[in-house]
Amino acid sequence: MTAPPSTDPIVTAEGFAAYLGQARGCTDAAVANVRRIVGGASRVTYALDARWTEDGEPTEAGLIVRLDPPASLLDSNRTHEYAAYRGMYGSDVPVPEPLWIEDDASWFGGAFFVMRRIDGCETSPQRLFAPPLDAVGDRIGEQLFDIAGRIAAVDPTEGAWDFLDAVAADRCWQRELDHWSEVIERHRSDAQPIVRAAIDWLRRDPPPEAQRVSVVHGDYRNGNVLVDPTGTIRGVLDWEMCHLGDPIEDLAWTCMPNWRWGRPDRYGGFLPPAQAFSIWERASGLSVDPVAFHWWSVFAHVKAQGIWLTGARNFADGAAAAINLPGIALRLSPIEDRGLIALLGWEDGGSSDRPATAEGARA
């Protein structure tokens, strides 16, 4: 079996039916309504409808197929992401049910995993902030931060989390900063003076020790949650950056300006800071340390810059053909620079304006 003649993997109805029969041992397999989902840039994603019989049990389901592309915004591990879905499935953090993982790339041109599809939901931020969902925005925001707190409350010593590398509470920051600093150095095509100066600041002025080492989603925000018409979040997606670390890292990422979509005073695009923090604290059992939150907020812009530069480099090197990869970098890299300048008080030549009190972080 040979891969389709395409840069990106391609799933077909005939091919997936053959996969169900030959690789999964199913009978009576039939597949329809195969379509590619346009959106996330880390994996190639297809939706399809399938029916099959396995161990004498007939099944009919909507499925999602997540395939490895030649290159993307992230250098991520498919088995790692699938294991995160398995670890979280059945908990009070809603995720799609993971079904199968496949290492054989010859089926569709890329290795992949399969999940049950959650239908009737929106994930696009533009649609979350437009009618009719804008009428339930407060409900979405409350759940966004409640679920963020639930993720922070996960005990990684219980359940199937042993695939995540351990880290000491006082070294969470260093491991993440070392990783993303290396990503930036490897992928940058110019000097990147602002982000490199920010990295120097982060090293000179590390955050407090993590209150708890917990599961960190790594990209938790609007755009990575499935929301139904009532404003209920029915699934958290895109766990490819999941790791153990400081839960404040996830909170700062969720709150960064990139995801506010023209609502500068609303964390996550939905809630005032004090309300967002209160909900997160109640669900996580932790407090929002203002010094830690400020440090991780600066780090969030560094990490984002590393993601955008990775996509641009993969396009420039010919590893990926998607023109949106350099386009994202051209559009968003200046936003990260401006965010760093503002957070570190560099507009007037000053130093960091990190808040000294919890009230400052909540403002």
Q: Choose from 77-86, 141-150, 353-362 the range with maximum mean pLDDT.
A: 141-150
pLDDT in tens, 297-332: 999 999 999 999 988 888 887 777 777 777 888 888
Which CATH class, in words, describes the domain spanning 125-362?
alpha beta
For the ranges 8-12, 149-153, 232-236, 314-318, which has the lowest average pLDDT? 314-318
Structure tokens at 351: 């130093």
Helix, strand, coil tally for the chain in percent (to 5): 40, 15, 45
Task: Give the Å distances, CA to CA, from 268 to 128, 227, 245, 276.
Answer: 11, 14, 21, 8
Report domain extents, the chain. 13-116, 125-362
pLDDT in tens, 252-289: 999 999 999 889 999 999 999 999 999 999 999 999 99
> Whole-angstrom Cα distance, residue 135 to residue 124?
16
Mean pLDDT of 5-33: 91
Cα 227 vs. chain centroid, distance in angstroms? 16
Q: What is the per-residue pLDDT for 2?
A: 38
Taking the model in full, what pTM does it have?
0.91
Residue 47 has φ and ψ, to the nearest 5°, of: -115, 150
Q: What is the DSSP string of 54-103?
A: ETTEEEEEEEEEEE--SS-S----HHHHHHHHHHHTTSSS--PPEEEEE-
Pairing between β-strand 214-216 and β-strand 112-116 as defined by DSSP bridges: unpaired
pLDDT in tens, 21-69: 999 999 999 999 999 998 655 688 999 999 999 989 999 999 999 998 7
> Whole-angstrom Cα distance, residue 291 to residue 7?
45
pLDDT in tens, 200-257: 999 999 999 999 999 999 999 999 999 999 999 999 999 999 999 999 999 999 999 9
Structure tokens at 225: 């949650």
Task: Give the Å distances, CA to CA, from 114 to 118, 231, 235, 239.
Answer: 13, 26, 15, 14
User: Facing residues of 233 across strands?
Assistant: 227
pLDDT in tens, 71-128: 545 556 789 999 999 999 999 999 999 999 999 999 999 899 999 999 999 999 999 9
Taking only Cα atoms into account, the Rg of the chain, rounded to an integer number of angstroms, comes to: 21
Q: What is the per-residue pLDDT for 344?
A: 96
Which CATH class, in words, describes the domain spanning 13-116?
alpha beta
Structure tokens at 175: 């491991």
Closest CA to 361 of 301, 306, 269, 281: 281
Is residue 291 within 8 A of residue 207, CB to CB? The reply is yes
Q: What is the per-residue burial (b if ≥16 Cβ within 10 Å, else e) of 322-338?
A: beebbebbeebbebbbe
For the ranges 173-187, 192-206, 301-315, 349-363, which has the lowest average pLDDT? 349-363
> Whole-angstrom Cα distance, residue 184 to residue 305?
7
Q: What is the per-residue pLDDT for 352?
A: 53
CATH fold match for the domains 13-116 and 125-362: no
Cα 136 vs. chain centroid, distance in angstroms? 23
